[in-house]
Structure formats: C-alpha cells, structure tokens
Chains A and B, each alone.
Chain A
Amino acid sequence: MVEAQYRFRDDEPVADPAVTVDSFGEQSNAAAVRLEPGDDARDLLPYLDRLRLVEVNFPSFGDGRGYSSARILREAGYEGELRAVGAVFVDQLSHLRRCGFDSFAPEVALDPVDAENAFNRWPDVYQATTDGRTPIWARRHPGGNRG
C-alpha cells in the first residue's frame, strides 16, 4: 500500500497491500487491488462488494487510461476508496477528482498550497460525471427538462 497524501473519506484506510488484478481473482479475501493502465477495470466488477481499495497507477503524466478506469468503477457503483498513485501532479488533481478518485498518493509529495488551489479551482463544470457535481447545463435548466 502507498501512503495517501490526500484522502477525502472518513472510513479507516485499508491496511492490506494492494494485489495485482491477476492475483486478485484467486485471493478470495483480498480487499485491495492495484490497476495498471493496461488492465481492464471491468474485470473487477464481479468483486465490487468485497473491494475496499483500488489503487490506479499512473506511470506517467500523459497516460490517461486511469481516468477511464476510475469512471468505469464509479459508474458501476463502486463506493470504496479509489486512489491515484504514481505520476500524480498538482495540475491533474481536479480532473482526477471529477473521475471519481477520492485519495491521492503522488510519487513526489505535492506542495500543499498549490494542491489546495487545484482542488478548488473550478467553480463549475461542463460535464456530468459520478462526482456529484451539477453540470452547467443542468444549472441552466433547473427542473431537469429532458426535452
């Protein structure tokens, strides 16, 4: 397990080490798993009820596959901890948060002031995701007119 620098949850962090997706299926008691960019997040969907921590690894700033993995898990109803690890930098935080990450374990610790600014950057958002924020289009049409 990698220590999170930021964690937006009240429950106790999982203490077990995160296992790979391959070994996760066999270890029927594992509650923590680590997704690499090439892994299919949908392989985890049968196990959501026993999963309490998913670490999504970002090997580099530019590899955006983890953003899709996160949304897929949240869209399927996963409510456990979703942790971004690896090449996680200040300027990604708000987007990662929008995709469903609620904890962050950057390789290199982030400057607290910069990180705070980044988390609070966007007053509003254009898209609907599962992060609970109301998109701008819904604010413009309160009452949820579906046309």
Chain B
Amino acid sequence: MYQYDHYDQAMVDTRVEEFRDQTRRRIEGTLAEENFRPLRLQNGLYLQLHAYMLRVAVPYGTLSSRQMRMLGDIADKYDRGYGHFTTRQNIQYNWIKLEDAPDILADLASVEMHAIQTSGNCIRNISSDQYAGAAADEIVDPRPYAELLRQWSSFHPEFLHLPRKFKIAVIASDTDRAAMKLHDIGIQLVRNDKGEIGAAFYVGGGMGRTPMIAPLINPFVPIDQLITYSEACLRVYNRYGRRDNKYKARIKILVHELGKDEYTRQVEAEFAHLLSQGLEPPLAELERIKAHFVDPPFEEGLPDDLDLGDPDFALWVKSNTVAHRRPGYVVANVSLKPVGGIPGDASADQIRLMADLARDYSFDELRVTHAQNIVFPHVRKADLYTLWQKLDAADLATANLDSIGDIIACPGLDYCSLANARSIPVAQKISERFAARDRLETLGELKLKISGCINACGHHHAGHIGILGVDRKGVENYQLLLGGCEGADTSLGQITGPGFSEDGIVDAVEKATDVYLAQRQDGERFLDTYRRVGMAPFKEALYG
C-alpha cells in the first residue's frame, strides 16, 4: 500500500489547517456561505437533509486495517455509530457538525487519509478496480498510476473551479470492474506490441441526466506522458465546457457537442504544446510509488483446496469469493447487503471488526467496491472458514454477491437533499421479496441498481434492472429500466414505460424476473435474455 512521505503528510496537514481557518471564518462571519460552500465541498462536507454529511476519500478503494479502524472510531466519536460506503468507493457520515469537521480531518490525516476533493467542481477521488493487485487478469496493478494521478489532481491550481465535477477511473484489465467508460475520463492501462505500458483514454462518459458511454480518444498514451495528456484533456474542458447550464456542464456534453474528433483534435494540440512545459514527473517517481505496491509476503506451496463440508460456508464461497492470482489464496467479498438491510451501511463495530480481520487474514488490506461492498483481497484458503465464521457472527456473511440481493442503492430521500424519492426502502423490500435462497440461486447474476433522482449516484442506468425515483406531484414514483450494464460491453438501461408506486415497483421487478425465467435459454443471465428477446415481452408482462 502507498505510504505518505513527509511531503504527502505536510500536504494533508496543511489542508486540515486551511479548512480549520476557513471554518473559523465562516462561524465568525468573515466568510460568507456563498464562498464557503465550494470550499467545504472540496473538503467533502455537504449540507444534507438532516445535518452536514462528510465524504471521506478512499483513494482507489484501498485501505489498511489501521485506516479502517479509524473510520469506525470516527463513526462513534463524531457521528451516530455508523457509516455508508458509496458507489465511488468512499465512505460517508451522515450526522456531522461543522464545528467538528476540522478535528475529523485531523484524525483522518493521522492515518494518512483525507476528504480532499470528494465533492465540488474539481477532480474527484480517483477510482479503480477493487481487485487491483489481486486479480488474475490484470496486466499491471493500476493503483500506482492512480496514485500518481491523485497527487497531480490534488490542489491542482488550474482545475479547482471546473464547469462541473470530474471523475477519473483507472483500470488495467479487459474486464472492467470499475465502470470505467461511465467516467469523465476512463483510463485503461494497456500493453503495445513492444510490450510497453501505455494508457488508453476514454473521455466523456457519465451517468446522470444524459448518460453517455465515453468514446476512445487515444488508444495509447505513452506512460511517461500520462500526466501531461490528462492536463491537456482537463484544460480543454476547463476553457470550453459549458458554464451557462449546470445540466450541460459535464465534459460528456462538451465532447458530444464538439464531436469526439474535434475534442480530440483540441486535446492533441494542447498536449503538443504542454509537452514542452515540463509537467511530467520522471518515471523514477512512478517507480517510487510502485515500490509501495509490491506483493505482500505470499507463502509458496499452500494447499489450494477448501473443505466445503459446511453447506452455508460452501454457498458463501460460491457466491462471494473470486479467484486470486496466487495458488492457495482467494479474494473474499463482504456483502454489506443483508436481507432487509441498508445497502452500504456498516456499524462502527462492524467496521472495526473488518479492520481486525484484515489485519489477521488479509495482509492488513481492505478494499471498498463500487458495489458498496468490502473486499479482503488476499486470504489464505486455509483461513477462509475461520474468517467466514467471524463474519457470520457479525451479520457480515450474507451470500449474495452480484445477485438480486446485492442491490446498489444511493441514500435517496432518507438522507439526500437532492432526492425525489427514497431508495433504501425499495431496496429493502426487494431484497426481502427475493430472500429465499433458491430464488437467488435460480436468478443467478442480476445487478439491480437504484437511484433516488436523476443524478444517478445509484448507477441505475448501468443496472441489468435499474430503478429511478421520481417525484410525481409530491408523491414518490419509480421508473423501471432494463438492460443496463457496466464493463467491457457497457450499455445503458431503457425505461420500460410509466412508473410505479413503492409497492408496485417491487411487483414490477418480480414480473421482469418471471419473464426472464420463462424465456431464458441455457446458461443465459438476465441481461443475456433481455438482449436476445428485447423489451417487448417485458412490456407485455408489466403493462399488457
């Protein structure tokens, strides 16, 4: 894992003092809310429905157990004993006091964490593949590149007042587990014919009001020009992105309106100019960062088999673990989606328990996934049963990864001031409706995603089944979408037709799954069947 040197530490410490000073000026009255607002947002502090909300960055989703423990302690000390893991691999606290916020940032800084640029019209926390460093199919570990970009984008003086927020994802395998093409910039690390590493740039993707899949604008940026090329992409956006209409201000609109070719031309021209400006850190810097991401001391010659005698354990292994690239090890997922629970929420005690378990069974490392779950990336198969038992005792061993029970849901109208409708109760009802184990198994992989408004924090466009909450004359109403998908074959879900009430949407989801079960051919997932048969039979069942 990356560890701060004294420079990095000084940067976060300085940031804490800067925010302490800004908060003081706001409370004393010399800094108006109008100007304080963008500053607090760039420190992750929102004003939400019930209180201030603090979003803490988990850069590229990687945490040490010490950091995880601090997240649990903060939940107890400054909040109400829990936190919410988000689709951007971050954690949010819902009940924060403004006057405490600088102290929280100081506590975070003491474990090399921060909330820098987790909101606001700036480059946000860089996300990545949750299995980075453990996945069998990656060409390199993408995290050093994400860390290089993190440092470049932190306090970048030119890009702190962009037209709109800006999200970057970095991956390094063909299987895209980070919804890379639905980001403002998606970077895929690739190897060319000569075996050199470079970066494929996909620019102008996004969800929200006008979902778009990012087009490829450059298939191979040499790795020693990564920062310079990123700077060129951002400068063109900062200068020409729309500022007249908040809903048209994301880079996807600029790329769409200019056309991919014209945007690319402008970026290449800016890039040619910037190459002479000495912006690029030397490769030695990348090597320095890479040295932090060397493998943990894996043991050789471990047995590669598991005793699956306990049927509950066997089920969990089947649904919640993923192959590791080293024999004798496995990647274990903790589902934060217990039946009837709040997706992504974990209590302070659960957070600290996961910290302890990571220390004992996963080389001190955890990941946060964009599906709002937690990963132990490197577990010895020999330890897996013990780990599972300890998780199970804390209600953390729900066996439902990637099933209809593993619902992604944004906070919705229970917490979010932008919401049109509540998301969480819908998720709870659906997970209860489908809780029976054989139902989950029969349905197989089925990604269901719920957003409480068009901002799409719950990624509803990318769900095999998506649900969007809307406000119909003051009453909560829910639209159903089918056929969305993230990954290499990214597609956007289509709305089925008129919306449903809260109970109606649960029935509608069930009807859609019934159509799938009736129509599916051998081995087809819900998405495959939908792609083959199209919307018509689903419409017929829903509205016919």
Please count the residue pairs between chain A and chain B whose beta carbons lie under 8 angstroms apart in the complex: 114
B10 / chain A contacts, CB cutoff of 8 Å: 123-124
> Closest residue of chain B to A91, judged by CB?
B39
Out of B31, B162, B274, name the residue touching A64 (CB < 8 Å).
B162
Task: Tell me which residues from 98 to 147 in chain A have a Cβ below 8 Å from any Cβ of chain B.
Answer: 98-99, 111, 114, 117, 121-130, 135-141, 144-147
Q: Once the chains bind, are A67 and B158 in contact (CB under 8 Å)?
A: yes
Q: Does B288 contact A (CB under 8 A)?
A: yes
Q: How far is the CA of A114 from the CA of B31 in the complex (A)?
A: 11
Q: Does B25 contact A (CB under 8 A)?
A: yes
Q: How far is the CA of A94 from the CA of B273 in the complex (A)?
A: 25
Task: Tell me which residues from 29 to 78 in chain A have a Cβ below 8 Å from any Cβ of chain B.
Answer: 37, 61-65, 67-68, 71, 75
Q: Does A89 contact B (CB under 8 A)?
A: yes
Interface of B is mostly: helix
Q: Once the chains bind, are A89 and B157 in contact (CB under 8 Å)?
A: no
B297 / chain A contacts, CB cutoff of 8 Å: none
> Closest residue of chain B to A89, judged by CB?
B35
Q: How far is the CA of A61 from the CA of B37 in the complex (A)?
A: 11
Check A64/B159 contact, CB under 8 A, given A124-B7, A140-B288. Answer: yes
Q: How far is the CA of A124 from the CA of B8 in the complex (A)?
A: 9
Q: How far is the CA of A131 from the CA of B439 in the complex (A)?
A: 63
Q: Once the chains bind, are B282 and A111 in contact (CB under 8 Å)?
A: no
B154 / chain A contacts, CB cutoff of 8 Å: 126
Q: How far is the CA of A128 from the CA of B231 in the complex (A)?
A: 11
B39 / chain A contacts, CB cutoff of 8 Å: 91
**Interface residues on chain B, size class:** 35 or more
Q: Hey, what's the 0/1 contact readout for B248-288 against A, CB within 8 Å counting as 1?
A: 00000000000000000000000001100111011111111
Q: Once the chains bind, are B284 and A147 in contact (CB under 8 Å)?
A: yes
Q: How far is the CA of A94 from the CA of B239 in the complex (A)?
A: 20
**Interface residues on chain A, size class:** 35 or more
Check A62/B25 contact, CB under 8 A, given A124-B11, A140-B7, A141-B282. Answer: no
> Closest residue of chain A to B120, judged by CB?
A62
Q: Hey, what's the 0/1 contact readout for A14-32 against B, CB within 8 Å counting as 1?
A: 0000000000000000000
Q: How far is the CA of A136 from the CA of B6 in the complex (A)?
A: 10
Q: How far is the CA of A14 from the CA of B251 in the complex (A)?
A: 39
Q: How far is the CA of A34 from the CA of B159 in the complex (A)?
A: 22
Out of A89, A125, A128, A140, name the residue touching B155 (CB < 8 Å).
A125
Interchain Cβ contacts under 8 Å between A and B, 6 examples: A94-B157, A99-B158, A121-B14, A124-B10, A140-B285, A147-B284
B: residues with CB less than 8 A from A are 5, 7-8, 10-11, 14, 18, 21-22, 25, 30-31, 34-35, 38-39, 121, 151-152, 154-162, 224, 235, 238-239, 243, 273-274, 277-279, 281-288
